[in-house]
Amino acid sequence: MKMYLNSIFADPERTARLVDIAKTSLWPLLEGAIMNTIPLTIISFIIGLILAVLTALARISHVKFLQIIARIYVSAIRGTPLLVQLFIIFYGLPNIGVTIDPFISAVIGFSLSVGAYASEIIRAAILSIPKGQWEAGYSIGMSYTQALKRIILPQAARVSLPPLSNSFISLVKDTSLASVVLVTEMFRRAQEITAANYEFLLVYSEAALIYWVICFFLSVLQGFMERRLDRYV
């Protein structure tokens, strides 16, 4: 630690070099974030949420077959490491003749993961809405689907917003795993940069800082959305 700091401050040439590296790697890192990390997060989260709602509905449905499929899916995804899932999709599937582009592989992997975890959040949120709300819907003549769409899901959305925001923020960071399936997102960019200059501490810290800024911005957004949805409580 002391040596590292000494080497920076005692040697003006090295200081200049580090400042230069920090500056020149900023844009490639940001580019990795803008072109891959952020789109990967957003696309995977949207697909994952759709999957999660469907899975949650299957779990609470009275159709045994749907329940079982949903249970197996959630159990399989939660019971295996995301890294292994990504390897199976990207490196494993080509063995049976299915070759998928790195970015698409990552989207598939992350969507499946979000779908499984978020389905539990959404299921719990739906079950937390009092039975009287369903009954009030039915009593004015609503069908199951109408009551679900108009009465239950909007309230469940409010309940699940904080935990889903957490999932979203986690996903931003988890996308760094996509580097192992060759997606040039921010972390892979950082690896490429350090491979040329060996300034691991500087460049990885810079990447960490950018992740932090993104996540900070997201938690501000979360607070804003929660206040908006709080109007009625």
Partner 1 sequence: MISIKGLYKQFGQLEVLKGINLEVKKGQVIVVIGPSGSGKTTMLRCLNVLETPTKGAISIEGQSLDFSKSVPKKSVASFRRLTGMVFQNYNLFPHKTALENVMEGPVIVKGEDKTTVRKKAQALLEKVGLGDKIDYYPAQLSGGQQQRVGIARALAMEPEVMLFDEPTSALDPELVGEVLKVMKDLALEGMTMIVVTHEMRFAREAADEVIFMDGGVIVERNKPEEIFTTPKEERTRKFLNMIQ
Q: Provide the binding-site residues for partner 1, judged by CB under 8 A.
A: 130, 132-133, 135-136, 138-143, 146, 150-151, 154-155, 158, 231-233
Nearer to partner 1, 95 or 145 (CB): 145
Question: CB of 135: closest distance to partner 1 in angstroms?
Answer: 5
By C-alpha distance, which of 146, 185, 149 is closest to 44? 185
Nearer to partner 1, 63 or 140 (CB): 140
Nearer to partner 1, 143 or 166 (CB): 143
Q: Could you say which DSSP state residue 140 is in?
A: T
Question: CB of 144: closest distance to partner 1 in angstroms?
Answer: 9
Nearer to partner 1, 51 or 151 (CB): 151
CA dihedral for 143, 121, 219, 216, sign (positive or negative): negative
Count of CB atoms situated within 10 Å of the CB of 162 = 13
How many Cα atoms sit within 13 Å of 99 on the Cβ side? 1
Question: CB of 114: closest distance to partner 1 in angstroms?
Answer: 25
Question: CB of 67: closest distance to partner 1 in angstroms?
Answer: 20
Distance separating alpha carbons of residues 13 and 17, to the nearest angstrom: 6
Nearer to partner 1, 14 or 150 (CB): 150
The tokens describing 79, both together, are: 């019971």
Question: CB of 131: closest distance to partner 1 in angstroms?
Answer: 9
Question: CB of 44: closest distance to partner 1 in angstroms?
Answer: 28
Alpha helices by DSSP H, listed for the chain, are 2-9, 12-32, 38-60, 64-78, 82-87, 102-128, 131-139, 144-146, 153-174, 186-197, 200-229
**Residue 230 dihedral angles phi and psi, to the nearest 5°:** -85, -5
Nearer to partner 1, 136 or 196 (CB): 136
Distance separating alpha carbons of residues 199 and 218, to the nearest angstrom: 29
Distance separating alpha carbons of residues 4 and 140, to the nearest angstrom: 72
